[in-house]
Amino acid sequence: MLDLTDITAFADYFVICTGGNKPQIQAISDEVGLQMKHVARELPHSVEGYNQAEWVLVDYGDLLVHVFSPQSREYYDLERLWRGGKLIPIPPE
């Protein structure tokens, strides 16, 4: 997770993760949606790229969730692009 609060006005946080294949990328996206709905009581403003499942972007306003294929994550390298952001580790469950 990247904290971008001091860097950009369009989002405060990015969650960036990778799925191994199309079904896994879609399953990760689905689970994020379910957890956000049931735990945080939030619905996404938009979801982009779900059918192609190379890069799924789920927009929750100040929180953007990016679910990449390994190739897309390496190509777009958001961590490098937004390297000014503060890395926030997500603890395992």
Number of domains into which the chain is organized: 1
Helix locations, 15-87, DSSP H: 22-38, 70-76, 78-81
Residue 90's pLDDT is: 84
Which of 67, 63, 55 shows the shortest CA–CA distance to 3? 63
In a domain, 92, yes or no: no
Q: What is the pTM of this model?
A: 0.93
* Segments forming the whole domain that contains residue 60: 2-81
Going by C-beta distance under 8 Å and a sequence separation of 6 or more, which residues neighbour residue 16?
A: 1, 2, 66, 68, 73, 78, 79
- The CATH number of the domain holding residue 65 is 3.30.460.10
Q: Per-residue confidence at 91, pLDDT binned at 50, 70, 90?
A: confident
